[in-house]
Each structure stands twice: as structure tokens, then as C-alpha cells.
Amino acid sequence: GENVEQHPSTLSVQEGDSAVIKCTYSDSASNYFPWYKQELGKRPQLIIDIRSNVGEKKDQRIAVTLNKTAKHFSLHITETQPEDSAVYFCAARGSNYKLTFGKGTLLTVNP
């Protein structure tokens, strides 16, 4: 089945800096890659997703890039704000139609 590795597990940045979270996947047939944000004690919520026919997607301060050849994708957050502090999960939809999630990255934005 699909295996998704996510790095780093924790990330601390100063407000206004950029944050980058990277994920790799194993199933070359995977074609859908969502990112979820989970605040402490809350449910995961989709923040952005990308499909395999697209190399990059941007939504305001958030962008995601995909390299299918290398089987890795990344989340970029620019001009970070304290409210961006949360756990971020990447996921990949493999050939079995299931989403496999990474272990998560705890992002802390220091004021």
C-alpha cells in the first residue's frame, strides 16, 4: 500500500517568516495530494490540495508543489502568522483509492 513520509515533525518560525513542510510517497499511481490543518483539540480541515496533472497550486499565502518524478510534494506558507500555528498533515490518494496520511508537522509561529 501507500506509504507517506513527512518532515519535519516539528517546525518553529518567527512571525513573518516562511515555513516549508515536505512529504514523500511510495505509490507511483497516487494522483491526489491534500493538506490538512489541525488546531489543538480540533478536527483536521482541508487547506489546499493538488492533483497529479498540476505542478504547483497557490491560494493566498499557501502554496503546494508536486514533483511526480521524485514522488514528493511540499507545502509552503509565506508571511506566517500566529494563527498558522497548528499540526499540518499531508496525504496521498493511492491506487487503492484511500488517503494515507503523513505523521504530521507541528508548526509553531512565534510572535
Partner 1 sequence: DAGVIQSPRHEVTEMGQEVTLRCKPISGHNSLFWYRQTMMRGLELLIYFNNNVPIDDSGMPEDRFSAKMPNASFSTLKIQPSEPRDSAVYFCASSLGSSGEVEQYFGPGTRLTVT
Binding site for partner 1 (CB under 8 A): 31-32, 34, 42-46, 49, 51, 89, 93, 96-104
| Beta carbon of residue 16, minimum distance to partner 1 (angstroms, whole number) | 29
How does DSSP classify residue 109?
A: E
| Beta carbon of residue 111, minimum distance to partner 1 (angstroms, whole number) | 26
| Beta carbon of residue 55, minimum distance to partner 1 (angstroms, whole number) | 17
And the C-alpha cell for 28? Answer: 507511483
**Residue pair 49/89 in contact by the 8 Å Cβ criterion:** no
17 phi/psi in degrees, rounded to 5: -75, 170
